[in-house]
Amino acid sequence: MPVASPRPDLEIPACGLWGLVFGSLAPEDEDRVAIIDVADGSETTFAELKTYVESAAGGLVHRGVKPGDVVALHCPNSLAFVIAAHAVWRIGAVLTPISLLATEEAIAEQIKDSGTTLLLSVAALGEASANAAKSEGVETIFLDSNNGLQQWFAERRTAPQVSFDPSTHLAALPYSSGTTGLPKGVKLTHENLVMNVLQAQDAQLVTRDDVIFGVLPFFHIYGLTALANLSLTTRATLITQPRFEVESFLTAHQKFGVTFTFIAPPIAVLLAKHPVVEKFNLSTLRAVLSGAAALDEELALAVEKRLGVHVEQGYGMTETSPVTHTNSDPQMNRGSIGKPVANTEHKLVDPESGNEIGLPEPGERSAVGELWVRGPQIMKGYLNRPEETAATLPGDGWLRTGDLAEQDSEGNVFIVDRLKELIKYKGYQVPPAELEALLLNNDHVADAAVIGVVRKGEEIPKAFIVLQQGCENTDAEKQSIMDFVAERVAPYKKIREVEFIDQIPKSSTGKILRRELKAREK
């Protein structure tokens, strides 16, 4: 039987994102600070933000944007990003956010594939996105130029009221590699995103009195939903910072009295190990929540011990808006993603037989299976990709995550690894994530990644290691690291090869880019 959320079902509201965030703005919240932009030092109240969004929406309509049109947004975390995104939603248009790490070629491909009709960018990012848009015959408006936001604010145009069905009307087209390879547009409706904000609220991730730090990118669904829209809907104060840098991250926490921060595992590693952390007063911080990739229990406990805060964990995908599971229980294993959020259920499926894996006996873990999830936050499919959609959405509302997991007798889930990233050593399955988590517990290791490489016709686990400062790149150090792992795992899981590198390649949300490491082997 599938595992259902322990939370009562939430009613699905008949409103879009504009209605959720601004339609219910109460008089007592109007003067609360909604956003503090670290880059320019501005503070914007909820009332001001609503006015700015309305003016920007009017500006978009004046420039011909209609309901259903796709608008691309290439912008760092900032007040401008939030205004532009909500202006797009206010008029019933569709937002396709563009990664700050995307190349000009990739931007052009996303603009073409999504059917973008207008690009919004900022001059500070350079000409790459504008050049990409021009190559596809699409106009660019720079939000920080004379004909951008300031002009829209000065014009004070209002947008007409729009009417659409939130359950079918697209709100966003973020691009994800999903479970099957090349980037694809993920079709998320207003209902998907509205419900996921409400599900995250119901999980009590943040409160109205929180000061929330927002460094994880808003162009990623994690930042867009869990950072920006959850914070605004809850009437918390959101601190925006364009890019992550450890000292500015810590400085902002101390300066603004941050109480809650969304992070990814690479930031957890820095918080646990970086010496500069000791120089800052983080006493206002009550908790952090890690998402975007699996967090190891020992790493979470190391952060808790060093900072004196509770480390929570969430799980989701672009295809799930993103949140499906949360673990905020201080008594629960920190390595678990917890149970499903409200209106959501999961099951584990044996990838080979297709049979559902049941709950184990108390005190035990189930067999490993692929995690499937079902709920109102599940995407409508991939844009113009019927075969990939069918593979990921097998029917009856279920979505295949592509993640391998175990569960305990109460239905708490433990992510093991990606289905397609398992290393096959002499017929045994070796999860890279397990070895990476173990390596991070070595005092000489600053960061680590593990892939399978072929040696003499056989796949073996190889570790790429970033050494801590002061440690030397020697064969003895390599052997010491391999011995460290060998003492703690079954013989077939041992690291068979080590290479020291300067930096582990990662995505904007902290996922290890194994394909880049594998390319080094060719």
* All structural domains of the chain with their residue ranges: 46-163, 423-520
Burial class (CB in 10 A: 0-12, 13-18, 19+), 41: exposed
Strand (E) or helix (H) holding 519: helix 514-520
How much is the pLDDT for 354? 92
Average pLDDT over residues 149-163: 94
pLDDT of the residue at 254: 96
Residue 199 φ then ψ, to 5°:
-65, -40
- Write the CB contacts of 242 (distance below 8 Å, at least 6 apart in sequence): 38, 39, 76, 77, 78
d(CA 397, CA 384): 19
Secondary structure (DSSP) of 281-328: --TT--EEEE-SS---HHHHHHHHHHH-SEEEEEEE-GGGSSEEEEE-
- Confidence band of 50 (pLDDT split at 50, 70, 90): very high
User: In a 10 Å sphere around its CB, with 0-12 CB exposed, 13-18 middle and 19+ buried, how is residue 118 labelled?
Assistant: buried
In 3D, which of 248, 299, 292, 241 has the Cα closest to residue 273?
Answer: 299
Confidence of residue 69 (pLDDT cuts 50, 70, 90): very high
Asked whether the CA dihedral 128, 175, 36, 315 is positive or negative, the reply is negative
pLDDT at 179: 38
| pLDDT recorded at residue 522 | 66
Q: Give start and end residues of each alpha helix (H) in 275-377.
A: 297-307
Q: How far is CA 77 from CA 85, 208, 215, 240, 314, in A?
A: 11, 21, 7, 6, 21
Q: Which helix (H) or strand (E) is 481 found in, with range? A: helix 475-486
pLDDT bin (cut points 50, 70, 90) of residue 329 is confident
Please compute the mean of the pLDDT values over residues 326-349 and round it to a whole number: 93
Query: What residues contact 477, with CB distance under 8 A and at least 6 apart?
Result: 444, 467, 471, 500
Q: Are 56 and 29 in contact (CB under 8 A)?
A: no
The count of residues in the chain is 522
Helices and strands in the chain, H and E counts: 16, 28
Q: What is the mean pLDDT of the segment spanning 191-218?
A: 95
Q: Whole-model pTM?
A: 0.85
Residue 385, CA distances (Å) to 93, 98, 100, 320, 388 in order: 21, 19, 24, 17, 6
Quick one: pLDDT band at residue 457, thresholds 50, 70, 90? confident
In sequence order, the β-bridge partners of residue 349 are: 356, 370
Q: Are 171 and 16 in contact (CB under 8 A)?
A: yes
Record: fold of 46-163: Rossmann fold (3.40.50)
14 has pLDDT over 80: yes
Q: Are 448 and 437 in contact (CB under 8 A)?
A: no
**Residue 293: is its pLDDT beyond 80?**
no
Architecture of domain 423-520: 2-Layer Sandwich (3.30)
Percent of the chain clearing pLDDT 90 (strictly above)? 70
Mean of per-residue pLDDT scores for the chain? 92
Cα distance between the two ends of the chain: 45
Which pLDDT band holds residue 460 (cuts at 50, 70, 90)? confident
Residue type, 320: T
Please tell me the least confidently modeled range out of 102-106, 197-201, 367-371.
102-106
> Residues 497, 462: contact at Cβ < 8 Å?
yes
